[in-house]
Amino acid sequence: MPTRSLMRPTAVPDRETAPRAFSSRHLLKLVEDTGKVGFWSANLESERLDASPGFHRIFGLEPATELTFSYAIDMIHPQDRAAHGDQIAVLRSGQPISREFRIIRPDRTQRWLLHHAEVIMGPDGTPSHGMGVVFDVTAQHDTMSALLQRHDRLNALIVATAAVFWVNKSNGEPSEMPQWMELTGQTHAQMQGLGWLDAVHPEDRPRTHAAWMTAVEHTAPYNTDYRVLCADGIYRWFNARGAPVLNTDGSVREWVGVCLNVPGRTRYGASGGAARAAASGNPAAGPVPGSEAITPGQIRAARAFLGLSKEDLAGLANVSISTINRLEDPNSPIRTRGETALAVRRALEKAGIEFTFEDGARTGVREAGVRT
C-alpha cells in the first residue's frame, strides 16, 4: 500500500528480502520525483489519511502537514466542489472513483488534478481502506486550453473576413467544405472531384482549374481570384488561398484554405435560367424575364421612390428588417435565399416599381408602365 511510511528510512532488511524492498521503495521515489504524481491511503472509518511526499508537493503542503479527508476536500476549487466534494462518501460506499478537478493551494495557485482511487473490503465485506493516486495534469489542461483558444480565434477570423474555410484531401479532392456548400448551394455529391468548379464562372473556370492542379502537382501554395455563382443567383468575386499540410516525411496529409470575399469588385445577377446557363457555359440562354436578380442599389432606389421605410418594405414582403438590411448592403457577407430576394422584388413591383436591365446600360428602377 503506497503510504508515507514507504518513503521513510527503514532498517536494512535481510538479504533475501532486500532486493524486493529496495526495489519498491526506490521505484516509488523515482515516480514521485517527477513532481507529477502522489499517493495516499487511509482507513475509511477515520478522517486521517497517509500521503506520500509527492502528494504533499502537488497540494503545495509542507511534508509534515497532517492531512484529513476534510482538509483535502476543502482545497478543491469552489466551482468544482459541488461536483467532486463527494469523493470520500463514494469511497465509503464501496465504489471506486476517477475524477478530474481543480484545487487551490495555500499559495493561491491553481492546479488540475486527476484522481484515481480504489476501495479495499474488510473481512465482513464492508469498505475498510482506501488507496489512491493523484496526477498533476495542469500542463495538459493548459495545452488544451491554448488549442481551443487558437480554434476560437480562427473561427472568429473566418467570420470577420466573411471567409469560406475548406479542407481537401491529399490528392486535392474536396473533403470538408460545408461553407462552400452553403455559399453555392451545391450538395456534397455535386462538388466532388472537380464538381466544385461548376460554381465558378465559365470565363474563370479554366484558369482556376489550372492554378489548382499546378498547386497540387508541385505541393505549392494556391492563390487565385475567381467569380463564384452564389446560392442567391449572384456572382461574387473571391480570392482563394490554400496550402498543403505535410506529414513528417514530406508527403501531403491534406490541403487547407479559405475563400475571401473581395468587396468592391464587379458582381452581377444570374438568376433562374441565366444562372444555369452561365454555370453550364452556355451564354446563349438569356435570363427569364422578371427573374433577374435585383441589386442592392435598385432596392434602395425603389424604396426611396415609393417613400417606404425598411420596416414598411419588410412588412410588404413578409420578411425581417435584417433581411432588408442584408439585401441593401452590397458588401454583406451573409447570403439571402433566392426566394426571399424574389419576394422583396415582387412586393416592390406590386407597389408600382419596374426594374430595368437593359443591355449595355446600368440597372435601374422606374415607375411601372413608364417608358423612357
Q: How confident is the model over 273-307, as pLDDT tens digits?
A: 444 444 444 444 344 445 567 888 889 988 988 89
pLDDT of residue 121: 94
Nearest to 293 by CA among 350, 322, 352, 335: 335
Is residue 32 predicted with pLDDT exceeding 80?
Answer: no
Residue 62 one-letter amino acid: E
DSSP string, 353-370: EEEE--TTS--EEEETT-
Question: Average per-residue pLDDT in the chain?
Answer: 82
Class of domain 163-268: alpha beta
Pick the CATH number of 294-367 from 1.10.260.40, 3.50.50.60, 3.30.930.10, 1.20.210.10: 1.10.260.40
**C-alpha–C-alpha distance, residues 319 and 330, integer Å:** 18
Confidence of residue 370 (pLDDT cuts 50, 70, 90): low
Provide the pLDDT for residue 234.
Answer: 87
Rg of the Cα trace of the chain?
Answer: 34
Query: What would the grid cell of residue 372 be?
Result: 423612357
SS3 state at 98: strand
CA angle 122, 41, 22 (to 5 degrees): 110
Q: What is the predicted pLDDT for the residue at 136?
A: 94
Mind listing the pLDDT tens digit for each residue in 182-225?
888 999 999 999 999 999 999 999 999 999 999 999 999 999 99
- The percent of residues above 70 in pLDDT, for the chain, comes to 78
Please tell me which residue, 79 or 33, carries the higher pLDDT value: 79
How far from each other are the two terminal CA atoms of the chain, in whole angstroms? 99
pLDDT band at 264 (very low <50, low <70, confident <90, very high): low
Specify the CATH architecture of the domain 4-141.
2-Layer Sandwich (3.30)
pLDDT digits (tens, 9 = 90+) for 41-62: 999 999 999 999 999 999 999 9
pLDDT tier, 70 (very low <50, low <70, confident <90, very high otherwise): very high
pLDDT at 117 over 60: yes
β-sheet bridge partners, residue 224: 240
pLDDT band (50, 70, 90) for residue 335: low
- Let me know: does 324 contact 333? Beta carbons within 8 Å: no
Asked if 4-141 and 163-268 have one fold, the answer is yes
For the chain, domain boundaries = 4-141, 163-268, 294-367
Cβ-proximal residues to 168 (8 Å cutoff; 6+ apart), any chain:
174, 175, 177, 242, 254, 255, 256, 257
Calpha distance 8→29 (Å, rounded): 10
136-176 per-position pLDDT tens digit:
999 999 999 888 888 888 777 766 665 788 999 999 999 88
**Model's pTM, two decimal places?**
0.48
Query: What is the model's pLDDT at position 19?
Result: 52
